[in-house]
Each structure stands twice: as structure tokens, then as C-alpha cells.
Amino acid sequence: MPRIRDILIVPTDARFADRPEWDTHAPAGWDTGPAALGDGITIERVTTDEAEAVMDASGPAGKNFHATRQFGQLYAFVRAINQAEYDETQYNWDASGALTRTIALSRLVLDNAYCSEFAARIVEHDRGRTQVIPINGFEQRLAYRLHEARFWLTEDEVDELATLRAAYDPIAGQLPGRVGRALWRTERSTHTRYLSEAVTHIVTGLEALLKTERHTATQQFTTRAPALADAVGLDGAAIDWDAVYAARSDASHGAEVELFAPPGHSPGGEPPPEAVTLVAAAQDVLRVAVRRPIDDEDFRLLFADAAAVRAAWPV
């Protein structure tokens, strides 16, 4: 029977090479071996040859050309595939969506840009023949992050993620529609390199949770978003919600987003740091707010319907 694994490589980042966090917050899977997440998924360091093979298979192929990579494997998300699943799915990486869901949930534990840029199914057949089959989809292959802090999970955070997965899987189909839509928007906000698009997904995710009427949309958002932040233990008053909502509205209606393009900034240039900080703070609120209903049934009920939202956060 062949050994079959779906593997997603998280690459190293040279910008963090000298960070003291390497000593104080060791990455999961480095010191104690594979860390289990449930459903046959582990975080671990696969062999260098396997990591290189996955990254080679994931990149475009040239002719008589092989670029030297300036990064390697930090660790990998690995899911063991049994024979029955392989017989059904064959060469389709993560056909069950288990790894994709795990990566999305990992962002509710720690901001990261994990993605399927370097992902493949490895099939080790009998008699030593090995296949490395790259992912055949491109829609979500890249991800981005707004914070510059540590991006690797520690052993404790892996335990936290395992607990979150165990809580999410049985209730995924029972979450209020508001929470499900907000969770999808939370993940979509990670898969765009442009801040004006990210803020659109973030605000829409918050509105999925909080909007109850078509009219007075701005008032609903600017009243309920800070109250929601306070309810999940964050400082709602520290965020300029008017600016966040105005940026989303400008972007959605095709206007220039002044928050991201102040005088002196050329179109398409890097956004000012204060804009990144503002949008990152709003994204943090959304992530905590969609995680809490997974962990807390009472909090989940606050989003059961429009009446429940109105009662929890009156305008």
C-alpha cells in the first residue's frame, strides 16, 4: 500500500532571521516532533528533500533553468491520506478541504499568510517510485498579512488550534448564517494584496455579523463595531471606525481611497503605515468576533437573527 500525504510548506522569511522570538517562541514541530491537529493533520518538518520537491513542483518550470531559492521550509502542514480516500480523489490535493479549513482557522489563532503556494500530494508507491503532484487550483494560492509580528505557531498555539478545530468541525453547518458569511469574508481579506480590497472584505464581514436594516447602515456599523470589539475583549474606542467605513465605501463605489493615498503618495504605491495599522486593527476585531461563536455557544446565540443582534447591540 502506498504512503500518501497532502503537504503544505510554510516557507522561512529572511526578515525574521535575527528575531529573538526564535529563542523565546520556538516553532511548533521543531523540538518535539510532529504536533497533531486532528483528522490526520500534523505540523512538522518534513525532510529537506521532500520540502524541496514540493516547492520545485509548485513553481513554474523553465527550460535549462533552475533558480536558486533564497528560502526554505519553516515547517509543513501534513495530512495523511488513506487508500480509500486516495482511490476516490486520486491526484486532487486536499479534496476534503481539511487542510484549507485548518489554515483558515489558524489565522484566528495567529495572524499569518500561510497558503497553498507550495503544496502537493506526495505518493510513495511500492518499489521506491515517488510522485509529487502539485495543486491544480490557483484561486487561493497566495495570502498576505497586515502585521509584522511573529508568524509561526508555537506548541501552545498548535494545541489552541487543535482545540478550535475540534470545536468547529461538529458545528460548522450549524453556525448562524451571519457567522458563516463573516468567517468567509475574514479569510477572503487575507487573499488580496491590496489594502482597499482587504478593507472591503473586513467591513463586509463585520456587517455580516452586525447589520440588521438596510437603512442607517453607517450608524449601525459605527455604533455596533466598537461595541462588538469591547464585547470580545478589544478596545473598540481605539479604532477610527468612521474612517474604516468611509474607506470601504470609497473603494466599493470606485472613488479614490484618500486614507490609502494621501498627498505625496503615487497611485499604486505603498499605503501609509497608519492606514495599514488601522485596517489591521479592524481585521483583528473581525477575527476574534468570528472565533468567539465557535468557542462560546452563548455568544453564538447573539447572532441567531436580526432581533438577537438588535438586543445585544442597540443603535
* Tens of each residue's pLDDT in the chain, 315 residues: 789 999 999 999 988 988 899 989 999 989 889 999 999 999 999 999 999 999 999 988 888 888 888 999 999 999 999 999 999 999 999 999 999 999 999 999 999 999 999 999 999 998 889 999 998 776 668 999 999 999 999 999 999 999 999 999 999 999 999 999 999 999 999 999 899 999 999 999 999 999 999 999 999 999 999 999 999 999 999 999 999 999 999 999 988 888 887 666 655 567 888 999 999 999 999 999 999 999 999 999 999 999 999 999 999
Please check whether residue 168 lies inside any domain of the structure. Answer: no
d(CA 29, CA 77): 10
* Residues 8 and 141 occupy one common structural domain: yes
By three-state DSSP, how is residue 19 classified? coil
In angstroms, the first-to-last Cα distance of the chain is 62
What pLDDT does 32 receive? Answer: 86
* Residues 12 and 138 occupy one common structural domain: yes
Please check whether residue 166 lies inside any domain of the structure. Answer: no
Backbone CA torsion sign across 142, 42, 286, 137 = positive
Edge-first strand listing for the sheet containing 35-38: 35-38, 41-44, 73-81, 3-11, 119-124, 130-134
* Residues 138 and 231 occupy one common structural domain: no
* β-pair type (35-38, 119-124): unpaired
What pLDDT does 255 receive? Answer: 87
What pLDDT does 135 receive? Answer: 87
Please check whether residue 57 lies inside any domain of the structure. Answer: yes
Q: Which domain holds residue 244?
A: 175-312
Please check whether residue 233 lies inside any domain of the structure. Answer: yes
What pLDDT does 259 receive? Answer: 84
* Residues 144 and 208 occupy one common structural domain: no
Provide long-range contacts, Cβ within 8 A and 24+ apart, for 21-25. Answer: 21/150, 25/150, 25/152, 25/154
* Residues 149 and 212 occupy one common structural domain: no
* Sequence-separated (6 or more) residues with CB below 8 Å from residue 250: 256, 257, 258, 259
CB-CB contact of 192 with 211 (8 Å): no
* Residues 23 and 132 occupy one common structural domain: yes
* Residues 152 and 180 occupy one common structural domain: no
* Residues 17 and 153 occupy one common structural domain: yes
* Residues 255 and 123 occupy one common structural domain: no
Please check whether residue 305 lies inside any domain of the structure. Answer: yes
d(CA 153, CA 103): 12
Q: Looking at the 3D structure of the chain, how many domains does it have?
A: 2
Closest to 131 in 3D by CA, of 117, 142, 120, 147: 120
* Residues 139 and 79 occupy one common structural domain: yes
What pLDDT does 262 receive? Answer: 65
Please check whether residue 170 lies inside any domain of the structure. Answer: no
* Residues 9 and 150 occupy one common structural domain: yes
What pLDDT does 122 receive? Answer: 97
Please check whether residue 169 lies inside any domain of the structure. Answer: no
CB-CB contact of 170 with 300 (8 Å): no
